[in-house]
């Protein structure tokens, strides 16, 4: 009898340890899908948090109304897509990228978080970076802490999954991705092996019965504060 109980406990422990494997797999796929949609110009959770801009757009907004520009972009993440007009150094010897507007007399200054990134950037290169806007502008807009979009999202996925892995099934989610993860986990616990068949998020979305049940679990964890996602600064 004791042997049977011991085996049952070991089985239960093993099940609990792996019950959320599908939840982890699917939430990582969902996050990566959301990033892919954002980067291709589609509507995503991330697009609500990070506007995509060009150098000409920022220059135009800045010249039209500097006060309004700074209200909009100060401490705001932006994804700038432009072309490098050159790489220069400031008085401290730190490199920054210049991106011209309609002519050489108007430009956006992109200050790099990782100074060594400047080694790989030349005049005429396409620029795709995540930066932070600032009030500290001189004649034209300045963006700070710029990192490549690839490196930004690689780090975002890494830290988001690390935070998710620390959660317990009954924890309160702090953001939308965590709420979705916990909803998937609760569904996977109640209906083990059902999520095994879904290799992509789109496959899951097409199964209305399973999706609706998962959505119910997700909504149970929602509050006003955690229905959004927060994007970290570079």
Predicted confidence (pLDDT) per residue in 66-96, tens digit: 999 999 999 999 999 999 999 999 888 999 9
Give the confidence band of 203 by pLDDT, cuts at 50, 70, 90: very high
168 against 143, higher pLDDT: 143
Distance CA 28, CA 154 (A): 12
Give pLDDT, residue 18: 52
Residue 23: the pLDDT is 92
Q: pLDDT confidence of 6, banded at 50, 70, 90?
A: very low
* Domains of the chain, earliest start first: 20-45+167-220 (no CATH), 50-148 (2.40.50.140)
Q: What is the pLDDT of residue 13?
A: 34
pLDDT at residue 91, as a whole number: 86
Q: What is the pLDDT of residue 147?
A: 97
Task: Report helix angle 55-64 to 66-73, nearest 10.
Answer: 130
Q: Which residues of 106-129 are buried (b: 16+ CB within 10 A; e: fewer)?
A: bbbbbbbbeeebbeebeeeeebeb
Average pLDDT, the chain: 88
Mean pLDDT calculated for residue range 166-174: 90
**Would you say 116 and 87 are in contact if contact means Cβ atoms under 8 Å apart?**
no
Tens of pLDDT, residue by residue over 7-42, are 333 333 333 445 578 999 999 999 999 999 999 999
Average of per-residue pLDDT across 150-160: 97
Q: What is the mean pLDDT of residues 132-140?
A: 89
8 or 181, which is more confident? 181
């Amino acid at each position: 009898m004791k042997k049977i109980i011991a085996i049952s406990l070991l089985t239960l422990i093993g099940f609990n340890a792996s019950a959320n494997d599908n939840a982890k797999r699917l939430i990582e796929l969902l996050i990566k899908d959301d990033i892919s949609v954002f980067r291709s110009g589609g509507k995503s959770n991330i697009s609500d948090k990070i506007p995509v801009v060009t150098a000409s757009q920022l220059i135009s907004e800045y010249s039209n109304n500097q006060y309004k520009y700074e209200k909009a972009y100060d401490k705001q993440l932006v994804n700038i897509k432009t072309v490098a007009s050159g790489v220069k150094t400031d008085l401290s010897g730190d490199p920054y990228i210049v991106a011209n507007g309609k002519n050489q007399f108007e430009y956006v200054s992109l200050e790099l978080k990782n100074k060594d990134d400047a080694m790989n950037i030349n005049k005429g290169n396409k620029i795709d970076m995540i930066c932070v806007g600032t009030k500290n502008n001189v004649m034209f807009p300045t963006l700070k802490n710029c990192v490549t979009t690839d490196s930004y999202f690689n780090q975002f996925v890494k830290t988001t999954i690390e935070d998710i892995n620390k959660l317990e099934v009954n924890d309160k989610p702090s953001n939308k991705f965590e709420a979705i993860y916990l909803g998937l986990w609760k569904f996977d616990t109640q209906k083990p092996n059902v999520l095994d068949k879904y290799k992509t998020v789109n496959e899951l979305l097409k199964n209305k019965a399973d999706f609706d049940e998962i959505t119910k679990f997700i909504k149970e964890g929602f509050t006003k504060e955690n229905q959004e996602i927060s994007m970290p600064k570079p």
